[in-house]
A and B are shown apart, each in its own frame.
Chain A
Amino acid sequence: MLTIENLHVDVAGKEVLHDINLHIGEGETHVLMGPNGSGKTTLIRTIMGFSNYTVTKGRILYRGRDITNLPIHERARYGIGMMFQRPPTIAGLKLGKLLIAASGNKPELVAEYAASMHMADFLERDVNAGFSGGEIKRSEVLQLMLQQPEFVMLDEPESGVDLENIALIGSAIAKLVEKDRHIVHRHKSGLIITHTGYILDYLEADAGHMLCDGEIRCHGNPREILAVIKSKGYRECIECKKI
């Protein structure tokens, strides 16, 4: 579904990602791990197409189509969605209105989905204004539920979320990537940035990648990678130069 080839990315004139290669197949969910500042968020923001992330070399293919230079909204319309870690506050814009826009103008779905994410009381509130950490995550997941992307990227979905909320968010994310469906009927894919791995309690990831200093250092079983990080920290990954 998503293939990244020899990707180099500059941020503010400095190369932050070096020669990234990654393939995520249809129906697969991958996990991206790595220390702070390793380039995880840069990678998913580059896939989404945000300005300030300049691809200097390489390309991004989505369903075989080169999307490297497409504007953000076209990527979104092709089926790429993203959960923001720290989304902006938009004064005056009501969450309900944004949800209708995200759903492709299906207001009838908004109330039902909002209720399922305990966000019914937030529809008349300005987007992200005064939202707690958990509320921001619920709002982000809710937007994605309505947007229905085929490839979903999640930037630290469990950060700043209490235990009650993480169960709700984790289950919703599992549905977003069709983990509730039999493997042969699963078509949606995902890329999840996680530090803690808590999200793996709610969905089984198919592969994990370790990103250090803007390079992917290893691929493997996500739980194994996580176990290494938990026991030895990131130091070994930083020192390791071998994929």
Chain B
Amino acid sequence: MQKDISGTEGIRPEDRARLAEAGLELDALNRCGSFFQIDQKIVHTSCMEEGIEMYPIAEALRRFSWMGEYAWNLVSRDKDDITRYVAAQEEPKGYVIIARKGSRNVMPLQACLFLEHVPIQHVHNIIIAEEGAELHLITGCASSHRTDIGAHYGVTEFYVGKNARITTTMIHKWGEQIDVFPRSAARVEEGGTFLSNYIAMSPVKHVQMYPVADLAGRGAVARFHSIVVAPAGSHLDLGSRVLLSAPETNAEIISRSITRGGTVIARSHIRGGTEETRGHIECKGLILEDGIIHAIPEIEGRVTGTELSHEAAVGKIARDEIEYLMARGLDEEEATATIIRGFLDVRIAGLPAVLQKQIDAAIDAAEQGF
């Protein structure tokens, strides 16, 4: 039997299940490396992929004098109370990943941010893909089954170099009284691709985030996908913004939101600031129980050569779809669950199969509750 990676042996069985739902493998069988932070303690950092390095951020800042140029460069320390809090920490926590020029990981790296006891977990992550590198990352953020109350403050800065690619898949598994405030930004150079996926299927008190990707180099691409369910009591204020700052850049923001009594604010904004740019927003919401889905797709064109579009729809499951499946022998509950599963089934181009499977598994695990 494959052993757990070091530092994670003491995690309780109930929490292991929660971490698995957040897409994490304690045996790291399908991962090329792992970072585990429990509360403020970094218990494991490893990467076996040649050309890809992973460090706790404090070590990276000590080791590389140039790292200071990357820290707090895309996200301002003074952006808000969250960033100020993270910036004020004497000993920064979180991780740094550097994918050296031309490197590529077949199996993804995993990063686990696990909240157990502290009132506020803070992290600052920096992810760099140098020219031509391809980096796939899965981040599982979870709280312990015993954690009633707490908060997670996370700052993440992504640097996608020339012709490089970063895919990042974040799966949340928090608790009903946990506040979560990620603050992320990405800069994508010429020919680079940034692909960001966010999945949250379980209760949380409050999530608020609005990552920004600046497509700074010609031909850069950004795609954001979010798949979320808000049970009663959950407030998810989510958004993605892409700045089409260079010619031939291209962005897509796709969201699928479900409310079962909670609130989802699905924001998105694409700004076409340069010629020969394209952007599209697709924002769909399903109201299963009275709650709020507030879709705010924004497209902002500033020059004649930008083409931006959006489609948004919020509503209930169409009766004719349920009855169609019932005519095939599914009862109403099965038909409803099948349609919801389909609604959430977003195929993500360019994502390694192992990560798509992980996303599917996270949605499947929640399917019982549909």
Contacts and interface: CB of A to CB of B under 8 A. Distances in A.
B327 A76 contact: yes
B341 A93 contact: yes
A73 B339 contact: no
Given A84-B324, A87-B324, A88-B318, A73 B342 contact: no
Interface stretch (A15-23, A94-102, A107-115): A94-102
B339 A72 contact: no
A48 B319 contact: no
A82 B323 CA distance: 12
B326 A76 contact: yes
Interface in B322-342: 323-332, 334-335, 338-339, 341-342
A202 B327 CA distance: 25
B357 to A, nearest CB: 15
B228 to A, nearest CB: 15
B321 interface: yes
Nearest to A81: B327
Contacts of B342: 90-94, 97, 126-127
A88 B332 contact: no
B324 A101 contact: no
Interface string A100-129: 011010000000000000000000001100
A104 B329 contact: yes
Contact of B328 (A71, A88, A91, A143): A143
A101 B328 CA distance: 8
Contacts of A51: 319, 323
B320 interface: yes
Given A77-B329, A101-B330, A90 B323 contact: no
Contacts of B346: 92
B62 to A, nearest CB: 48
A73 B331 contact: yes
B4 interface: no
A93 B339 contact: yes
Contacts of B324: 84, 87-88, 90
Interface residues of A, number: 27
B360 to A, nearest CB: 12
B78 interface: no
Contacts of B364: none
B111 interface: no
B299 interface: no
A147 B326 CA distance: 12
B70 interface: no
A51 to B, nearest CB: 6
A16 B284 CA distance: 36
B343 interface: yes
A71 to B, nearest CB: 7
B29 to A, nearest CB: 27
A37 to B, nearest CB: 19
Interface residues of B, number: 24
A73 B320 contact: no
Contacts of A102: 328-329
A76 B320 contact: no
A127 B334 CA distance: 16
Contacts of A72: 323, 326-327
Nearest to A83: B327
B289 interface: no
A76 B329 CA distance: 5
A51 B335 CA distance: 15
Nearest to B329: A76
B3 to A, nearest CB: 35
Contact of A101 (B318, B321, B325): B325
B326 A90 contact: no
Nearest to A74: B331
A17 B64 CA distance: 81
B155 interface: no
Contacts of B330: 73, 101
A102 B338 CA distance: 12
A73 B338 contact: no
A104 B339 CA distance: 17
B191 to A, nearest CB: 30
B283 interface: no
Given A48-B327, A92-B345, A97 B321 contact: no
B327 A82 contact: yes
A13 B84 CA distance: 63
Interface in A36-86: 48, 50-51, 71-73, 76-77, 81-82, 84
Contacts of B343: 91-92
Given A88-B318, A90-B321, A76 B328 contact: yes
Task: Identify which of A77, A101, A126 gathers the most chain B CB atoms within 10 Å of its CB.
Answer: A101
A73 B344 contact: no
Contacts of A82: 327
A31 to B, nearest CB: 21
A73 B319 contact: no
Given A93-B341, A97-B338, A147 B320 contact: no
A71 B332 contact: yes
7 contacts: A51-B319, A81-B327, A88-B318, A90-B324, A92-B344, A93-B339, A98-B325
Interface of B: 318-321, 323-332, 334-335, 338-339, 341-346
Given A84-B324, A101-B338, 6 more contacts: A71-B326, A73-B332, A88-B318, A90-B321, A90-B339, A92-B344
**A-B pairs, 5 with minimum CB distance:** A92-B342, A93-B342, A72-B326, A92-B345, A102-B328
